[in-house]
Amino acid sequence: MSTTVHKGPKGKTAAAAGAPPAARRGFLESKAADWALPTALVVLVVAGWQGLVSLGGVEEYVLPAPGDVVAKMFGDFGVFAEQSVPTIVAIFVGFALAIAVALPIAVGMVYSVVVRKAVYPLLIIAQVVPKVAIAPLFIIWFGFGQLPKILMVALICFFPVVIDSLVGFRAARPESLMLVRSMGASRWQAFWKIRWPWALPSIFAGIKVGITLAVVGAVVAEFVGADTGLGVLLITARGDMDSLTVFASIAWLTVIGFVLFLLVEVLERVLVPGKKSGRKFEASGSL
């Protein structure tokens, strides 16, 4: 049976007429589009923000102009850089602590039913408890300083790392595990050859969520009780009704969070070539 292809007035098929141009499709699939499109959107939002302030639609003390915020960020660079150090240290140490605890727990939950049934409900309880309610207890128990911030960061980003790691470890195909075990591999050899590479994409998914929450955890701890950090600078400026410093502090925190996310993204590209899923990872012969 023959198939009739309907053509438009200029002889083009209907499918070709409705398809986007090759150049546009090629650009959207290129790496340049990954940066150009969000950059264009940010520029558009900032231009609208600047226009709203310039036209007098909002008072400057309520919403300062973006140019003034940038000038404040770099004009008081020394102050912001000094206050950023304790915040960044708390983020790095707390996040490393969360990963160091989350990965072994996820492995234990994979290999032990007892551990999984005993620990999983506690993970849910720890996640649903408001972290802002726990922060004052950390101040009472550990005093002011870096330790309460580190613990808050670890607590707030622990859950996504352990859950995504658990999902990744359990996603390994049973037939692949049975194959390597039948070839004489030990349980830990099967783990490093099968479960670990299979789980890496899921682990990094949890790490990327966790690193953004780590910034939130550090700021929350600094809000409740700390003597240094960007969160302290922000809450002090808020008390003084200094909205320019508030916006500049938020901008600094945004930059820090974005840079940390990019670092995790780079690390993922190094350790997980092509950012392959577990099934594709196995199909490529990288097991």
CATH number at residue 115: 1.10.3720.10
Residue 169 lies in a domain: yes
Residue 16 lies in a domain: no
pLDDT by residue (tens digit) across 22-81?
556 665 666 666 677 778 888 888 888 778 777 776 777 778 888 888 888 888 888 889
Name the residue type at position 87.
Answer: T
Q: What are phi and psi of 219, to 5 degrees?
A: -70, -40
Verify that 122 and 252 share a domain, yes or no: yes
Confirm if 165 and 102 have CB atoms less than 8 A apart.
Answer: yes
Verify that 176 and 37 share a domain, yes or no: no
Verify that 86 and 196 share a domain, yes or no: yes
Round to whole Å and give the CA distance between 97 and 161: 11
Residue 12 lies in a domain: no
Verify that 112 and 41 share a domain, yes or no: no
Verify that 72 and 111 share a domain, yes or no: yes
Residue 8 lies in a domain: no
What is the maximum alpha-carbon separation in the chain? 82
Verify that 158 and 261 share a domain, yes or no: yes
Round to whole Å and give the CA distance between 270 and 263: 11
Q: How many other C-beta atoms can be found within 10 angstroms of the C-beta atom of residue 61?
A: 10
Q: What DSSP string runs through 94-111?
A: HHHHHHHHHHHHHHHHHH
Q: Of 9, 33, 54, which residue is a domain's last?
A: 54
Round to whole Å and give the CA distance between 95 and 217: 10
Domain count, the chain: 2
Residue 98's pLDDT is 94
Domain of residue 228 covers: 66-283
Residue 144's pLDDT is 78
Verify that 181 and 217 share a domain, yes or no: yes
Query: Please, what is the Cα angle at 86 between 82 and 87, to 5 degrees?
Result: 105
pLDDT lower than 70: segments of the chain: 1-34, 57, 273-287
Confirm if 138 and 152 have CB atoms less than 8 A apart.
Answer: yes
Verify that 199 and 273 share a domain, yes or no: yes
Residue 226 lies in a domain: yes
Q: Please give the structure tokens belonging to residue 70.
A: 């940038």
CA distances to 20, 37, 146, 174, 235 from 161, rounded to whole Å, are 40, 30, 22, 23, 29
Round to whole Å and give the CA distance between 81 and 74: 10
Q: What are phi and psi of 13, to 5 degrees?
A: -70, 160
Residue 78 lies in a domain: yes
Verify that 158 and 212 share a domain, yes or no: yes
Residue 88 lies in a domain: yes
Residue 254 lies in a domain: yes
Verify that 136 and 209 share a domain, yes or no: yes
The residue assigned the tokens 């950390």 is: 138
**Per-residue DSSP letter, 63:** S
Verify that 44 and 177 share a domain, yes or no: no
Task: Give the residues across from 7 on adjacent strands.
Answer: 13
Residue 286's pLDDT is 38
Round to whole Å and give the CA distance between 204 and 53: 40
Verify that 38 and 126 share a domain, yes or no: no
Q: What DSSP string runs through 11-28?
A: S-BHHHHHSPPHHHHHHH
